[in-house]
Amino acid sequence: NAGVTQTPKFRVLKTGQSMTLLCAQDMNHEYMYWYRQDPGMGLRLIHYSVGEGTTAKGEVPDGYNVSRLKKQNFLLGLESAAPSQTSVYFCASSFSRGIQETQYFGPGTRLLVL
Amino acid sequence: AQSVAQPEDQVNVAEGNPLTVKCTYSVSGNPYLFWYVQYPNRGLQFLLKYITGDNLVKGSYGFEAEFNKSQTSFHLKKPSALVSDSALYFCAVRDRGGASSNTGKLIFGQGTTLQVKP
């Protein structure tokens, strides 16, 4: 099992450019999450999905869109990148949202917006 | 609202010595607590979790954590530290908001950097 994978690992964008981050999991998990990690602010939830075809907003959704067309994939899109979106992005998945369930994380994508 | 706190930004330990990384929690109902580790330029890796039962939980890489209900703590421990244990450690609890607002997200402490010196 590969677990949770993310592509790309690193990307540099210019302000206004768009890109899509891909997250894939092979654990048949229903729930998937996108977090961003910033110094001094810990990890914050951007969007999440409770199953194929569903998405919902997290704490900091502005400037991002997501799609979950297939159960194993969760895409995060930036339509018009801004320097404030420079961050490390982590995808995570879990079997359910149960408070006992472990979330498993991908290796992260480092994004630099100039 | 539930929260976790890690009172130390950094912990320094000599290799071979025991280590403790502290975490305290505030949750309603039964606490279910997690520890994750983040090595430099890597993602978060699950170490262990407390669900119920034995207060001493054993996890990956020789780590264990002690749950103490009276002190509302869940400290991470290892009997003999390795230089390779140097990393950022997070304590976490899953969101347990109301039925309509429960995202299931993880609520993290601010993280503790562990430095193990040779």
Give A51-101 pLDDT, tens digit per residue.
999 999 998 999 999 999 999 999 999 999 999 999 999 999 998 777 778
Q: How many CB pairs under 8 A join A and B?
A: 64
Report the residue from A43, A45, A107 with minimal CB separation from B103: A45
pLDDT band at A43 (very low <50, low <70, confident <90, very high): confident
A100–B44: do the CB atoms touch at under 8 Å?
no
In sequence order, the β-bridge partners of residue B57 are: B65
pLDDT band at A13 (very low <50, low <70, confident <90, very high): very high
Residue B97's pLDDT is what? Answer: 61
Which residues on chain B are in Cβ contact (under 8 Å) with A4?
43
Q: What is the pLDDT of residue A35?
A: 95
Average pLDDT of each block of 10 consecutive residues along chain B (118 residues)?
A: 90 98 90 91 90 90 94 96 96 72 79 96
Q: A98 and B102: CB-CB below 8 Å?
A: no
Helix, strand, coil distribution of chain A in percent, nearest 5: 5, 55, 45
Give the pLDDT confidence score for residue B102 in this predicted structure: 65
Residues making up chain A, counted from first to last: 114
Q: Which two tokens stand for residue B91?
A: 């304590």
Residue A53 CA, distance from chain mean position: 16
What is the predicted pLDDT for the residue at A23?
97
Distance CA B88, CA B110 (A): 10
What is the rounded end-to-end Cα distance, in angstroms, of chain B? 41
A35 → chain B, closest CA residue: B105
Phi and psi at residue A85, in whole multiples of 5°? -95, 5
User: What string of H, E and C letters represents the secondary structure of chain B?
Assistant: CCEEECCCCEEEEECCCCEEECCEEECCCCCCEEEEEECCCCCEEEEEEECCCCCEEECHHHCEEEEECCCCEEEEEECCCCHHHCEEEEEEEECCCCCCCCCCCEEECCCEEEEEEC
Greater confidence (B110 vs A113) lies with A113
Say yes or no for a CB contact (<8 Å) between B104 and A108: no
List of chain B residues whose C-beta atoms are within 8 Å of the C-beta of residue A40: 110
Residues of chain B numbered 11-70 and touching chain A (CB < 8 Å): 32, 34, 36, 42-46, 49, 51
Asked if the Cβ–Cβ distance from B103 to A103 is below 8 Å, we say: no
pLDDT bucket at A26, cuts 50 / 70 / 90: very high
The pLDDT, as a whole number, for residue A97 is 75
Q: Is B107 on the interface with A (CB under 8 A)?
A: no
Ranking A13-17, A36-40, A104-108, B102-106 by mean pLDDT, the lowest is: B102-106
A63 CB burial (10 A radius; 0-12, 13-18, 19+): middle
Q: How far is B98 from B33, CA to CA, in rounded Å?
A: 19
Of B29, B22, B116, B105, residue with least CA distance to B65:
B22
Cα–Cα dist A46/A35, whole Å: 5
The residues of A whose Cβ lies within 8 A of any Cβ of B are 4, 6, 31, 33, 35, 40, 42-43, 45, 48, 56, 58, 90, 92, 94, 96-108
Residues 6+ apart with CB under 8 A from A52: A68, A69, A70, A71
